[in-house]
Structure 1
Amino acid sequence: MTQLAGAGAPATEFPVPAPSRSPQLLRRLQAVIALAVLIAGAVGAWVIADLRDDLASVPNLAQQYARLGQVQHALSTANDLATRSVLLGESASGTNATAAATQVARANGLVVQAATDRPQDAAALTALGQEVLQYSTSLTVAAGASGTTARSALTAATSQLEEVLSAIDDLQAELATEASARPWSQTSPGAVIVIVVMLGVVGWASWLLARLSHRAVNPGLAGAAAALLLLLVTGVAAQNTAAQASVASRDTEFTHVVNAATAVRQLDTAQRVVTTAVLDQTWDSDAEAAYAAAYKAASTAGRAEDLGSLSRFDTQQAAITDAVSKGDPKTAASTLLSDDAKAFRAVADAFRDKAEATSDTAVATAADEPRAARSELVFHLVVTILLAVAGAVAGVGGIARRLREYQ
């Protein structure tokens, strides 16, 4: 002992072990699990937020389509009123001429409103507004004019009207294409893949922790895995909710709007063909074919929405064009301009009133369905956030328990 004391501190019999790396590994696992669950939650929240944005645009499609249909009808009505003004020999301040100008102003207002509500259509609608202005100029020239001048101006205006109506048809076709897209009608594969990958990360962490602790199940990591599974279920439920609202709005209600607008558009065309025939005192095979096509299209769309029969309209048309064919302009004009409740224009107006009511109801429903779904998606969004936070806390807590054992 004396010799050992004189030699200084005794030599160590065993080497000092290296510090354990398990605590450092466990802390890293905590960070990995927290990130995995929070990333999955962030993806789920992003999907739901995107669903809400998508649903916000759904009613605009139906409303925009209906509004463009109103523009078409207003411009067609202006043409009809201007023609009546010429047939009656009114002055520029006459009742029909003034009403025609009012209808063009209404169409302009609707175009401006359409561009405001959907900025993505602004460029096309600006060009449309210029065409409407040119059309308005031709109608103004016709108002108060007489004879050849009025007829020439109306012919030019009608030609311009056809171009404007065709441009609106193109815009409506784009809206119909957009409405049929429904990007979130199915489960987003990207979101599912992310959550599945994060589940794999949690499974890998559970396996690694089981090797370190010699326990098969860690309650905290099991909670994190359950949170991820619930995130997946919540995301699917949210997408189903959005899909149902989207289908109701974009398919069912949008179809009603399209049918109503088509019925009015085609009936306006049929009426314009007859009015032009009375003005020009000509009814030939081309006019008859154009009327027949428009009448058939209006009737088909009207039956789809139960808007009533157009048989009386067709009967009145036959009487008017028969008078034109027989060279009886007075009878043709008097039948066309009659204000009787069963007259040509009155029957058309009654049909259009039903179409407008159908369209208004469809537009309102198209807005209500997504609005209710968007409110429900707020609940899904809150649940997603809470699940992500709870899963992250559970995973970190479960690993922290093992970390305390090592410490």
Structure 2
Amino acid sequence: MTQTPLAPTPVSEFPVPAPSRSPQLLRQLQALVALVVLLAGAVGAWVISDLRDDLASVPNLAQQYARLGQVQHALSAANDLAVRSVLLGESASGTHATAAATQVATANGLIVQAATDRPQDATALADLGEKVLRYSASLAAVAGTSDAAARTGLTASSSQLDDLLASIDNLQGELATEASSRPWSQTSPWAVIVIVVMLGVAGWASWLVARLSHRAVNPGLAGAVAALLLLLVTGVAAQSTAVAASVASRDTEFTHVVNATTAVRQVDTAQRVVTTAVLDQSWDADAQAGYTAAYKAATAAGEGEDLGTLSRFDKQRTAITDALAKGDPKTATSALLSDDSKAFLAAADDFRETADTTSGAAVQAAADEPAAARSELVFHLVATILLALAGAVAGVLGIARRLREYA
């Protein structure tokens, strides 16, 4: 049996082309685009979360400043009541002596609240609390003693009060410095740079895919680029919202709190100068200078807050100090201790009441502004997450269409 020879295998005159590397490159670009968009979204979400955390601490500054002002007033009021108790010759259980102890207790309670709300101030506030306890002991030792012993004790407690007020001034100064610092996340500019770089990478990927597919625009990649642009816009809008809220709280409202608190502090100082002068039965140039400085400072602080005039307060002060200058301490003491609604103490209290109302409203507004902004940032956060997911999906599907051409 004869075997038929096999036909020769035809050989092409053209070389067999190597397998295309385009599908592999497209898959790599697909993963790269998805990663880029998701990374940009993660950065944007992190920035917005950081802004929300930053806003959460804003109200504490104004509230803490106002609370420390209340501590100052309570301590000054305790001194004033102790002096009045001595002038009236009260016993240790007298009305004014008891009220002085109550004011010190109020100051202690406010210090505890301040430490609870802002743990970062706890160390300084603990030191302040110890000084208040020593001050309280000094005032308690004065009550019900002889006139000479009481005056000696009041001189000592007055020095302690000066130290306390100075310590509180320092704490308030630190709060003011913190409030004037940059009111937005320090990382936000870097986040913008990252998103811009990611935008550049996505643009490069779009250009490369266009070359491979010979089509100018890939709808999916165009959607990914658009999502990155919107992520950038959303991030900038979120930062603007946070900055506006924190500036309003840390600047505008905080300034109102500072002005009102300063006005009360200076009125307390002016009242203390007059009270001490009546106790010493003397009104000299130093007392006049101290009063004038405090009065002018209180007036200046109150002018921008519409706290009313201190003219009635100053008029009553003049009646007291004129009596002292004429060598009539009895009349001066009577005017100082008067509980008439138009008297010296009432005039000071009326001004302080208005200042307290202004400060309270500013503290509330300082809390409301960031709270509203934090709620608004939730929408920015959700939008950022959705944009990142949509952009990643669009990029993947856009390149997938080109991959099918190689199937």
Assess if the C-alpha contact under 8 Å between 1:249 and 1:367 holds in 2: yes
1:162 to 2:166 alignment: no
Question: Where does residue 37 of structure 1 map in the other structure?
Answer: 37
Corresponding letter in the other structure for 1:132: V
- Supply the distance in 2 between the matched residues of 1:129 and 1:4 (Cα, whole angstroms): 112
Q: For 1:115-148, what per-residue CA distance to the aligned partner results, in whole angstroms no more than 9, with x for missing partners?
A: 1101111111111111111111111111111212
Question: Where does residue 400 of structure 1 map in the other structure?
Answer: 400
Assess if the C-alpha contact under 8 Å between 1:185 and 1:240 holds in 2: no
Question: Where does residue 49 of structure 2 map in the other structure?
Answer: 49
Assess if the C-alpha contact under 8 Å between 1:62 and 1:363 holds in 2: yes
Question: Where does residue 208 of structure 1 map in the other structure?
Answer: 208
Corresponding letter in the other structure for 2:166: S
Assess if the C-alpha contact under 8 Å between 2:263 and 2:297 holds in 1: yes
1:5 counterpart SS class:
coil
Question: Where does residue 176 of structure 2 map in the other structure?
Answer: 176
Assess if the C-alpha contact under 8 Å between 1:182 and 1:246 holds in 2: no
- Supply the distance in 2 between the matched residues of 1:4 and 1:393 (Cα, whole angstroms): 59
- Aligned pairs (5 A) from 1:8-407: 10=9, 12-13=11-12, 15-184=15-184, 188-407=188-407
Corresponding letter in the other structure for 1:375: S
Assess if the C-alpha contact under 8 Å between 1:221 and 1:394 holds in 2: yes
1:5 to 2:9 alignment: no
Q: 1:33 Cα deviation (Å)?
A: 0.5
Q: In structure 2, list runs of 5 or more residues that go unmatched.
A: none
Corresponding letter in the other structure for 1:10: T
Assess if the C-alpha contact under 8 Å between 1:219 and 1:398 holds in 2: yes
Q: 1:333 Cα deviation (Å)?
A: 0.8
Q: Alignment length, in residue pairs?
A: 404
Assess if the C-alpha contact under 8 Å between 1:248 and 1:369 holds in 2: yes
Q: For 1:256-300, what per-residue CA distance to the aligned partner results, in whole angstroms no more than 9, with x for missing partners?
A: 111100000000000001101111122221111111000111111
Q: 1:25 Cα deviation (Å)?
A: 1.3
Q: 1:106 Cα deviation (Å)?
A: 0.5
Q: 1:236 Cα deviation (Å)?
A: 1.3
Q: For 1:220-274, what per-residue CA distance to the aligned partner results, in whole angstroms no more than 9, with x for missing partners?
A: 1100000011111111111111122122212211111111000000000000011
Corresponding letter in the other structure for 2:125: L
Q: 1:17 Cα deviation (Å)?
A: 3.8
2:183 counterpart SS class:
coil
- Supply the distance in 1 between the matched residues of 2:169 and 2:311 (Cα, whole angstroms): 26
Corresponding letter in the other structure for 2:108: N
- Supply the distance in 2 between the matched residues of 1:144 and 1:308 (Cα, whole angstroms): 38
Q: 1:375 Cα deviation (Å)?
A: 0.5
- Supply the distance in 1 between the matched residues of 2:90 and 2:48 (Cα, whole angstroms): 60
Assess if the C-alpha contact under 8 Å between 1:260 and 1:359 holds in 2: yes
Q: For 1:175-220, what per-residue CA distance to the aligned partner results, in whole angstroms no more than 9, with x for missing partners?
A: 1111112332899321221111111101111111112111111111
Q: Which runs of 4+ in 1 moved over 3 A?
A: 9-18, 185-188
- Supply the distance in 2 between the matched residues of 1:337 and 1:146 (Cα, whole angstroms): 20
Q: 1:55 Cα deviation (Å)?
A: 1.2
2:6 counterpart SS class:
helix
Corresponding letter in the other structure for 1:193: I
Assess if the C-alpha contact under 8 Å between 1:186 and 1:240 holds in 2: no
Assess if the C-alpha contact under 8 Å between 2:50 and 2:185 holds in 1: no
Assess if the C-alpha contact under 8 Å between 1:84 and 1:337 holds in 2: yes
Corresponding letter in the other structure for 2:6: A
Assess if the C-alpha contact under 8 Å between 2:111 and 2:129 holds in 1: yes
Corresponding letter in the other structure for 1:81: L
Assess if the C-alpha contact under 8 Å between 1:64 and 1:114 holds in 2: yes
- Supply the distance in 1 between the matched residues of 2:5 and 2:334 (Cα, whole angstroms): 137
- Supply the distance in 2 between the matched residues of 1:31 and 1:187 (Cα, whole angstroms): 27
CA RMSD of aligned residues (A): 1.7
Assess if the C-alpha contact under 8 Å between 2:183 and 2:247 holds in 1: no
Corresponding letter in the other structure for 1:192: V
Q: 1:5 Cα deviation (Å)?
A: 2.1
- Supply the distance in 1 between the matched residues of 2:234 and 2:117 (Cα, whole angstroms): 32
1:272 counterpart SS class:
helix
Higher mean displacement: 178-187 or 291-300? 178-187
Corresponding letter in the other structure for 1:199: L
- Supply the distance in 2 between the matched residues of 1:310 and 1:380 (Cα, whole angstroms): 48
Assess if the C-alpha contact under 8 Å between 1:269 and 1:294 holds in 2: yes
1:406 counterpart SS class:
coil
Assess if the C-alpha contact under 8 Å between 2:131 and 2:164 holds in 1: yes
